[in-house]
């Protein structure tokens, strides 16, 4: 299971938060972005519950994090939706 986590931070805290994020076990990648969120992180775990726990106990407690939005990946299989040929 994978999920993107969009993260807002306090002004001037992006680099601190990125450094902390990159040390968490489920974080596969974390990058700063522009727009309403400051950071996007890709997490991978065995279950959505495991990812949720990492968001609450690992990410949201990092000093400077003000808000998160978790977006689980659906892994939609397009080929299964196409008509048989």
Distance CA 79, CA 39 (A): 32
Whether 67 and 38 have beta carbons less than 8 Å apart is answered as no
pLDDT tops 80 at residue 14: yes
- Cβ atoms < 10 Å from Cβ of 72: 14
Cross-strand pairs, 68: 7
Dihedral (CA of 53, 61, 24, 28) sign: positive
The model carries a pTM of: 0.86
The domain at 2-74 falls in which architecture?
2-Layer Sandwich (3.30)
Task: Share the mean pLDDT of the chain.
Answer: 92
Q: pLDDT tens digit string along 56-70?
A: 999 999 999 999 999
Give me the residue spans of the domains in the chain: 2-74
């Amino acid at each position: 299971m994978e999920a993107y986590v969009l993260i807002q931070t306090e002004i001037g805290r992006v680099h601190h938060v990125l450094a902390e994020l990159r040390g968490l076990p489920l974080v596969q990648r974390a990058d700063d972005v522009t727009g309403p969120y400051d950071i996007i992180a890709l997490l991978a775990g065995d279950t959505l519950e495991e990812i949720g726990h990492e968001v609450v106990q690992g990410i949201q407690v990092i000093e400077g994090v003000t808000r998160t939005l978790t977006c689980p990946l659906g892994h939609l299989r397009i080929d299964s939706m196409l008509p048989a040929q």
